[in-house]
Chain A
Amino acid sequence: MYGSSQFDGSAAAFMGGGFMPTQTAQPPSDSSSFSISKNREARCLFPLTVKQINSLASNDESNFIIDGAEVNNVTIVGRVSHKEDKTSEYTFLVDDGTGQIECTKWPVTDFNEIPSHFIECIYVHFYNTRLRGVTTQPPVANSTSTPLKGYQAAPPYQSSAYSSASGLNNASQMILNFLQQPVYLEELQMLVDNGLVYTTINDDYYKSTVNA
């Protein structure tokens, strides 16, 4: 999937990943008998049959649990059939005798995808934990529509004393937090003095006179 020099492809590369030291190479016929690993870490590598995976899909979709352990990475051993080579990915069916499952292998041709993926992980994490939760820090603002003079780039984050308990929704809270930063308060006052924005329901709510 990522760098042919790292993908060794041999069965040994998938044997437990170091979390199941007692596991030895398993022949396909043994794939239906597996022992519960005592290591309950989420990054444990589970050998499963396709039948077990198919039974997982019909349960809770957000969290795969099998025999009391959370399942994330799995290994399956079977015969490859029905290969389909597309430009961006390579799909195939693996048949292990207990069922068939579709697999996708994405060739990485642009290696910028690798840091991009991790940056997306950070963004989604930030979105889910910061923007959806109690907002204490604003996001980085873009300068496409702001009328502020001399605005070059967003300043570093500053904590806001406001909490979302003031009854504002998340978007408003974000904007409020952004505007509460001292450098923007001065600019905001200038806009008010020039009649470009005005306060509405209270001194913390502003509206533009241009596109109100």
Chain B
Amino acid sequence: MDTSKPAIFVNGALLPMHVRKRVRTVIQVMGSDRGAVVGKSPDDLQLVVKGSPPSAPLTNFVEVIGIADSEKSIQAETWTNFGDAFDTYSYNQLCQLANGEYQHLFL
């Protein structure tokens, strides 16, 4: 993992605060739209993920790391299948903590 490019944990509500920055999140894949993947963020907001997914089929949950290019979309550089069962509630809590009073542990 390249530690010179840290990525901020985000959910749908936090993404707008980090436009043009490197972010990471886990989406629940809902479908695709004009070549981009449409998914649900850990806090149930719709996000669009652009870029080149891996050739293998995407699982239900996918972690994406990349640059937030708008308040609702990410240009993903890295896609990682996280399987079909994932605790989005805990991940969402982590996003809030990592952007709140424990931000100094992450960035």
Report which A residues bind B (CB closer than 8 A). 2-3, 5-6, 13, 17-19, 43, 45, 73, 110-112, 114-116, 118-119, 121-122, 125-126
Contacts and interface: CB of A to CB of B under 8 A. Distances in A.
A5 to B, nearest CB: 5
A111 B63 contact: yes
8 contacts: A6-B80, A110-B83, A112-B90, A115-B94, A116-B90, A121-B105, A125-B105, A126-B102
Interface string B77-106: 011101100110011011001100010011
Interface residues of B, number: 27
Given A17-B3, A18-B5, 9 more contacts: A3-B63, A5-B80, A6-B80, A17-B2, A45-B3, A73-B3, A119-B94, A122-B105, A126-B102
Contacts, number: 58
B contacts with A: majority SS: mixed
A125 B104 CA distance: 11
B78 A19 contact: no
Interface of B: 1-5, 9, 26, 54, 61, 63, 65, 78-80, 82-83, 86-87, 90-91, 93-94, 97-98, 102, 105-106
Contact of B82 (A13, A111, A116, A118): A111
B97 to A, nearest CB: 5
Given A5-B54, A6-B78, A18-B4, A119 B105 contact: no
A118 B87 CA distance: 14
A43 B3 contact: yes
Q: Can you list the 3 inter-chain pairs with the closest CB atoms, starting with the nearest?
A: A18-B4, A3-B80, A111-B82
Nearest to A14: B2
